[in-house]
Amino acid sequence: MEEKVIKAIPAIPLGLMTGAISAVIAFMVAIVMVLFMIPYFNYARGFEWIHGFGGLWALVVPVAVFVGGFIQGVVVAVVYNFLASRIGGIRLRFE
């Protein structure tokens, strides 16, 4: 069995991947939430203005979540690279 160590993780690719995964999940959640919110806002008095923003909300939230996921991925990679150089990286075994 061959063992390899992850010594460093490139920050930008990890940030892009975590941002993209987060955005896809947020988009799916936003679509489900909008579908459940539309009937409520059809009957809620004083909240009619929100009904028109439901579709826009489903597009804006994933973009914001992508930015947050990207920043999180970059921070994780930077911290991992800092710690891996001092205490060692993650060891993976391959056959």
38-62, pLDDT tens digit by residue? 666 555 566 555 556 666 777 788 9
- For position 91, what pLDDT does the model report? 93
The half-sphere exposure of 21 on its side-chain side, counting CA atoms within 13 A, is 10
Average pLDDT over residues 3-15: 95
The burial of 23, by beta-carbon neighbours within 10 Å (0-12 exposed, 13-18 middle, 19 or more buried), is given as buried
In the chain, the percentage of residues whose pLDDT exceeds 70 is: 80
Q: What is the pLDDT of residue 10?
A: 97
Distance CA 17, CA 41 (A): 35
DSSP 17: H
Write down the pLDDT at residue 11: 97
Contact 1, 94 (CB under 8 A): yes
